[in-house]
Structures are given as structure tokens and as C-alpha cells.
Amino acid sequence: MTASFVVMAAGVFFAGALAGALAGALGRRVAGGWAERLAPRAQIAFWMLVAVMPWVLGLVALVAALLPSFGFGADHCLFHDAHHPHLCLHHPQSLSFPALLLAVTGVARIAIVSAREARKAWTARRAIAMLHAAKAQETPDGLRVVPGSLPAAFVAGTVRPRIYLSRAAAALPPRLLAPVLAHERCHVARRHLLWRFVARIAGALHVPAISRVIDDRLASAQELEADASAARTVGDRLLVAESLLLLARARAGAPTGALAFGDGSVRARVMALTDVADHDNPWPLALVTALALAAVVAAVTSPAQVHHSLETLLGWLH
């Protein structure tokens, strides 16, 4: 395996990723409004699907392009001409500068986003360490109570999420505190911070504007899911809305990288809590997922056609 082949293979992956980014942008524009009518969990699944679309199509393009080298599909080497580059594990390739440019751009984008997320994680870790140093107290049920004269509640910790309450929040009447704790426990149980992290890393291959939209919509859907879970736990949607408005008015901030009870659009969350319409029909998402899987299967089962198309595309770029 030569360096030229690695560059060509990387170029194929990022060409597929570019197609996935375009598909994600189209999906956001065409289906973004429709997705808001889904149940919160289905919304989360939809935006995660959009986030990983470049990676999925990039891997599909790469695997399909290399399958003929392993004997799957037609033996492309038998009828290959010199009119375009040759993607094959068994024959040398010339260096493709367009593929190199595509690969360098993609790797640089992933590195920049990864460094940014690592910096956020380090900042959050330092903030939590400072909270612990400020005489944080742990309750018997695992909650961390930290100093604070304003009511605030948040979850911090991507891998090992924990719930933090300000002393003012911990002193709230049990009636108002119960929805807050149920909300934050949903964030912990569903590992929302981890999924946000995965979506941001996956979004590195999207256009930055689309990455921000995916992150915002995913965060909103997670807050709606936690609100719905809290409403089921306490049995009163209006009580969850009341607690939300109370903490939102306090405007007590949470450390960078944490999920706070007052995050997201308070107006949209209150409207969702007071909306009695049934949004729990996830079949449109299942249909979109099935179509995406069918496209992947079709590409993998027709490797010769995908292989030839990608070689032709690389030839045009030359």
C-alpha cells in the first residue's frame, strides 16, 4: 500500500463525506420543520442521523470503491483503461492532487473541531474541580450541592455525568424541586452530553453553519425529552413548566459544557409542555431511516458501478 493509494482512498472517503454533507444540508432544509413535529426522542434520532451522514456516506464510498480489489463485483482490472485514475490495492497509482487537497481539508477540519471540543472538556473539568473545591456537598442520593444564592441545576460530565444543584435550588419546596431533579436525571440516563459530543465531532464534516444548526436542534430536542420525562415522573406538565420558569428567571449560569435546567428556548419548552397534541408517532423517521439503509445496501451490493463512478470523478478532478 503506497502513500499515493492512501491519498486516493482518503480522497474517496471525503468525496463521499462531501455528498453526505450536502444530503445533511438538504435534509435540514427540507425536513427540519417536519422533524419538529416528531416526538423528542425521534427528533434526537433524526438530528443524530443528519450529523453522521457524511461519515456514513464516506465509509460507504470507500468500502464500495475497494470491494472489487477483494473479488467482489466485476474484476475491474481486466477492462480498465487509462482515461482515469485506478483505485486498486494491487496496482500502483499516481498521486492525485485534488484528492490530496480534499483529504488535507477534511483532516484539518476534524482536527480543529476535535481540539475545540477538547478545550471545552478541559474548561468544564476545571470548572467542576473549582466547584468541588468550594465545599460541594454530596447528598445520599448522589446529588452534588454547590454554593449559590440563585436556584440552578445542571448536569456535568460527558462520560460520567452527575447532577449539580445550587444551595438555593436544593432549598426549593419539594413540589418545585421534583420536576427539576426528574429532568436532570433524564439527561443522565439518556447520556445527552455524550451524544452532544458525538454529534459535534461528527458534524466536523458538515459546513460550519449546518453543524451549529444540528447542535442547536439536538440540544432543543434533548431538553424537550427531559421535560417530557419529568412530566411523566411528577404527573403534571404545568408543574414542570412552573419550575422551568422559576429557574429561567433566576438566570443562574452553568459551567461551559454542562446541561442546565434552563437551557434551550424556554418559550418553546413551555409551549411544548402546555401542548396536549400527540407527537409520539415516529413512523416518518423510521421511513427515512429505512430509505437511508436501502441506499447504503444498494451501494455496497453494486461495488463495480460505485468504483467506476468514483474513478471517473477523480479523473474529472485531474
And the C-alpha cell for 207? Answer: 459546513
Distance in angstroms (rounded) separating the CA atoms of residues 53 and 39: 21
**Residue length of the chain:** 318
Query: pTM (2 decimals)?
Result: 0.78
Sign of the alpha-carbon torsion through 202, 205, 208, 210 = negative
**Beta bridge partners of residue 260, listed in sequence order:** 154
- For each of the chain's 318 residues, which pLDDT tens digit applies? 577 777 777 877 888 898 888 888 887 777 767 777 788 888 898 899 889 989 988 888 887 777 766 666 554 554 555 555 556 666 556 666 777 888 889 999 999 999 999 998 888 888 778 777 767 787 888 888 888 888 888 888 888 888 988 888 899 999 999 999 999 999 999 999 999 999 999 999 998 888 999 999 999 999 999 999 999 999 998 898 888 888 877 665 566 667 767 666 666 777 777 764 444 455 455 655 666 666 666 655 655 555 556 556 555 554
What is the grid cell recorded at 54? 457524511
Beta-bridge partners for 22: none
| pLDDT given at position 52 | 92
Question: What does the alpha-carbon distance between residue 258 and residue 154 come to, in Å, rounded to a whole number?
Answer: 6
Q: Alpha-carbon distance 286 to 292, whole Å? A: 10
pLDDT of residue 229: 93
Q: Which helix (H) or strand (E) holds 200?
A: helix 192-202
Q: Are 50 and 27 in contact (CB under 8 A)?
A: yes
Angle at 64 between CA 316 and CA 77, to 5 degrees: 70
Which helix H or strand E contains 30, and what residues bound it? helix 3-35
pLDDT given for residue 195 in this prediction: 93
Residue 291's φ and ψ, nearest 5 degrees, are -65, -40
Strands (E) across 49-176 are located at: 137-138, 144-146, 153-156, 162-166
Taking the CB of residue 66, how many other CB atoms lie within 10 A of it? 18
Determine the Cα–Cα distance for residues 156 and 136; give it in Å rounded to an integer: 14
Contact between 193 and 157 (Cβ < 8 Å): yes
pLDDT of residue 205: 92
Look at residue 179 in the predicted model and tell me its pLDDT. Answer: 93
Q: Among 58, 175, 40, which residue's Cα sits nearest to residue 110?
A: 58
Cell of 245: 420558569
Question: In degrees, to the nearest 5, what angle opens at C-alpha 107 toward C-alphas 105 and 109?
Answer: 70
Give dist(CA 48, CA 196) in Å, integer: 9
- Residue 90, Ramachandran bin (φ over 0: left; ψ between -120 and 50: alpha; else beta): alpha
